Amino acid sequence: MSLRAVARNAGVGLGTVYRHFPTRDDLLQEILSSSFDDLSEKAHVLASSESPLNALERWMEEVATNTSAYQGLAASMIEKREDPTSSLHASCSSLKQSGDLLVRRAQDAELVRPDIEGTDIISLVAAIAWLSDLESFTPDRRKRLLTLLMEGLKK
């Protein structure tokens, strides 16, 4: 969604939006910071309360569902996660670290392949979430792809 569309939907002028959010990334960061923080916290809760595979799978579902809720977010995450000048970089890094935590835990239990990293998980889950931007994509399809992804991660 463009900043112009955001302004129109919010009933304010485009100048007002730009004064508060000079770039689309700044707006996304504001909208998503608490959501991404919640996903990072969820990873820690799952790591301490679930089996390693269940924790990883449930967290990936949460990330995909959360990311799918905002059209274009997955593409922005993929594009900006390696750009330290982007305001989305910190949130994306936090998600990567959460993924690393859960992946390492599953690797330590020898349940997932040793060559997987948190970056891989974020990239693959973001790709699945990106598909949610397509009109014909359903939550059942997202669940199926996440299940296939989990099967591919297992050792």
- Between 50 and 70, the more confident residue is 50
Gyration radius of the chain's alpha carbons: 16
Rounded Cα gap, residues 123 and 50, in angstroms: 23
Residue whose C-alpha is closest to residue 125's, from 59, 72, 53, 69? 59
Note whether 40 and 94 are within 8 A (CB). yes
150, 57 contact by CB (below 8 A)? yes
> Which tens digits make up the pLDDT trace of 21-63?
787 777 777 776 778 888 999 999 999 999 999 999 999 999 9
The highest-confidence range among 7-16, 20-29, 91-100, by mean pLDDT, is 91-100
pTM, rounded to two decimals: 0.79
What are the two backbone dihedrals, phi and then psi, of residue 91, each rounded to the nearest 5 degrees? -65, -40
Nearest to 28 by CA among 62, 85, 74, 82: 74
Cβ atoms of 143 and 128 closer than 8 Å:
no
Answer yes or no: is pLDDT of 154 > 80.
Answer: yes
Q: What is the largest CA-CA distance in the chain?
A: 55
